[in-house]
Structure 1
Amino acid sequence: MDLSDFSAALSAALADLRYGETPQELYEPIRYSMSMGGKRIRPLLTLLGAHLFTDDWQVALKPALAVEVFHNFTLLHDDIMDQAPLRRGQPTVHVQWNPNVAILSGDVMVVRAYELLFDIEPALLRELLQRFSQTAAEVCEGQQLDMNFETEAHVSIPQYLDMIRLKTAVLLGFALELGARLGGASPDDADHLRRFGTDIGLAFQLRDDLLDVYGDAATFGKRVGGDIVSGKKTYLLLTALEGANEAQKATLHHWLGLNTPETAEAKVQAITAVYDELQIRTRTEALINEYFQDALYHLDAVQAAPTARKALLRGLALQLMERES
């Protein structure tokens, strides 16, 4: 089997998934949100986690859908909080309908995610429901920290890394842990896979930060320099502020204080120039590689999975690290 086989199974299962019919205003936004596509990385990780230990990886299909429905719920509510007009090139749910509809539809998505976990065998159900609930709370903690950082004058690099660990990485780690446990993995092997997924998640988000500044606009899928324009605290900006000399700090603070459409392009160019002087791209790539190597260490530490099946997971991780969008 290869990744396309698992992706095809996911696509078919998602197409068959039902959320409810009436009132239409509650359920249509869910179908709309789930139809927007995306990479489906998290449910794919759940299937691959199961496949590492069993030929009967389909046992993880409904739980994988639970992970994807929950992830899309977080995007739906994040878009409300960020007042984002677009998601994957389409109007966001709160724009297409209204914020109240988006909130309520998101709430139902969480309920549906739990329902999709109910088929887990009784011996594992309590453990995995607890882990799912813990992970869900951590994702919300990460989102709150991200919002806090918007108004905090000083955010340290460790604080930022912890925020993206919670907001982005822990769900990737749980997705793998979930699949592994459903496939029969020992708690130790499942924990190594959780740590593999979390490290990949950290590298994934840092890659996103990097592409926002240094990506190709034609392939990145959104405006290059958007984080700079909005003044978002990213690893690149925090590292620059920490390492800048007085003149560079003055330049950064000057441009960060300018928030008009007319200055946006010049702002991106000026701040990127400081990044270049400080070799921020090289430093970010080095940290991405550090997380990637840590992830591979945990994958290699998994005892009971065949090497050939680990190679699928390693290949997917490499794709994520090399992505341009």
Structure 2
Amino acid sequence: METLNTKIVSKVFLKIYSKLKVSAFLSYFVNFKFENLKSTVMLPIHEYQEQFLIYLESQNIAKEPKNLYQPIDYILQLGGKRIRPVLTLMTADIFDADYKLALPAAMAVEVFHNFSLVHDDIMDDAPLRRGKVTVHEKWNINTGILSGDAMLILAYQYFENYQPETFRKLAKLFSKTALEVCEGQQYDVDFETRNDVTIPEYLKMVEYKTAVLVAAAMKMGAIVARSSKENRGLIYDFGLNLGLAFQLQDDYLDAFGNPETFGKQVGGDIIENKKTYLYLKALEFSKPAEKEQLLQLFSVKLDDNTDKIAAVKEIFNATGASKATQKAIEEYTLKAFETLEKMNISQEKKEVLKAFGENLMERKV
């Protein structure tokens, strides 16, 4: 029985660990202090958060039938950093609009995000979400599916607060993004049982599963602000490239980060045999003997992974995969900066966004 319990705990840990990686970009963002830049044009992050929470509390979500809407209210009240809606509000502010006009769009982003969590938890059979019982565990699987479906529809309804032209642009972007997120999730599931995953496929999975919703959240703020088509495209590209850079940085730090500051177990991806950018680059660059060793190491799961982690890291370094990953991080971050320079916004606002990107490149956690 003790062995069985250990396996169950390990399985739950790996699922929770995987979810932590997906949200790493957003967790870091909320800890970045715009006020440290002494900006006179941007609000502190917590003010956007507070205004969004006030708006969230004002919504009459818990209505009849209770077994449909109570789970929705429950998941939305579980907390979290609310960074996606914050990005929407912040971007509206960047493009000189009253950021409160973007609250309905921000709410749509948050409702969709939580819809995806409800269904992801069912797929993963996850017992906990943000330290609380998941919707399908608190109610049942059928309720989780139906309430999640309703959330997707509710998200669209928040766009009805806008004039027809703005509604059309928001709905078009939202439909594209929602489908891409679903595609990214499916790619991630497929990769678990595939041994022929390519680097372009991995980057597409990361882009769809994580980066596109960050980029879309920012573009929605620009749409509400009635910014130019060029600026809307540029802010989307900025968010997309920064999201990709951060995920690759997270892959790198998972193997080579400082255990005392990383905030989670170093080597978790190696333990879980995750096909990360580091792993795929190592396969690409490795000699036959190294490739055979790496494939063998990623075919087993052990009780004690100390030697496995050390051996894999040695291969990552010897093949040049670690340096290639660092180079890719820099390239995606520089792409974000290039789009930033093209935006028709004040230099001070550019500096705020650029400082965030620079902190991203320099982080050690």
What TM-score, normalized to structure 2? 0.80
1:311 aligned to 2:342? no
Deviations 1:13-66 (A, max 9, x none): 233334223444433433333334333332122112211222412111110121
Q: 1:209 to 1:78 in 2, by over 3 A?
A: farther
2:80 corresponds to which letter in structure 1? G
2:184 corresponds to which letter in structure 1? G
1:283 corresponds to which letter in structure 2? A
TM-superposed deviation, 1:279: 4.2
Structure 1 residue ranges without an equivalent (≥5): none
Structure-2 separation of matches of 1:218 and 1:192: 37
2:283 alignment counterpart: 241
Q: How does 1:176-187 map to 2 (within 5 A)?
A: 176-187=218-229
Equivalenced residues, count: 323
Deviations 1:114-148 (A, max 9, x none): 12221122222112211111111111111111112
2:334 alignment counterpart: 293
Provide the secondary structure at the position in 2 that maps to 1:206: helix
Identity of aligned residues (%): 43
1:171 alignment counterpart: 213
Structure-1 separation of matches of 2:131 and 2:310: 25
1:42 corresponds to which letter in structure 2? R
Q: 1:229 to 1:247 in 2, by over 3 A?
A: same
Provide the secondary structure at the position in 1 that maps to 2:161: coil
CA contact (8 A) 1:51 1:309 kept: no
1:289 corresponds to which letter in structure 2? E
Provide the secondary structure at the position in 1 that maps to 2:79: coil
Structure-2 separation of matches of 1:229 and 1:152: 17
1:299 corresponds to which letter in structure 2? L
CA contact (8 A) 1:19 1:112 kept: no
TM-superposed deviation, 1:301: 0.6
1:143 alignment counterpart: 185
Structure-1 separation of matches of 2:317 and 2:268: 17
TM-superposed deviation, 1:243: 1.2
1:308 corresponds to which letter in structure 2? E
Deviations 1:132-180 (A, max 9, x none): 1111111111111111212222011111111111111111111111111
Q: 2:308 aligned to 255, 267, 285, which one?
A: 267
Q: 1:227 to 1:90 in 2, by over 3 A?
A: farther
Structure-1 separation of matches of 2:259 and 2:331: 26
Structure-1 separation of matches of 2:318 and 2:359: 29
Q: 1:227 to 1:25 in 2, by over 3 A?
A: farther
CA contact (8 A) 1:48 1:313 kept: no
2:172 alignment counterpart: 130
Provide the secondary structure at the position in 1 that maps to 2:192: helix
1:82 alignment counterpart: 124
Deviates more, 1:104-113 or 1:82-91: 82-91
Q: 2:147 aligned to 105, 111, 118, which one?
A: 105
2:314 corresponds to which letter in structure 1? A
2:104 alignment counterpart: 62
Structure-2 separation of matches of 1:320 and 1:89: 27
1:206 corresponds to which letter in structure 2? L
Structure-2 separation of matches of 1:14 and 1:278: 50
CA contact (8 A) 1:65 1:113 kept: yes
Deviations 1:172-227 (A, max 9, x none): 11111111121121111111111111111211222232233234455545443222
Provide the secondary structure at the position in 2 that maps to 1:117: helix
Provide the secondary structure at the position in 1 that maps to 2:196: coil
TM-superposed deviation, 1:297: 0.9
1:50 alignment counterpart: 92
CA contact (8 A) 2:282 2:316 kept: yes
CA contact (8 A) 2:89 2:100 kept: yes
2:353 corresponds to which letter in structure 1? L
CA contact (8 A) 2:169 2:223 kept: no
CA contact (8 A) 1:2 1:312 kept: no
Q: 1:211 aligned to 238, 253, 270, which one?
A: 253
1:225 alignment counterpart: 267
2:199 alignment counterpart: 157
2:340 corresponds to which letter in structure 1? L
Q: 1:42 to 1:221 in 2, by over 3 A?
A: same
Deviates more, 1:16-25 or 1:56-65: 16-25
Q: 1:65 to 1:317 in 2, by over 3 A?
A: farther
1:269 corresponds to which letter in structure 2? A
Structure-2 separation of matches of 1:180 and 1:239: 36
CA contact (8 A) 2:285 2:320 kept: no
Structure 2 residue ranges without an equivalent (≥5): 1-42
Higher relative CO (Cα under 8 Å, sequence separation at least 6) belongs to 1
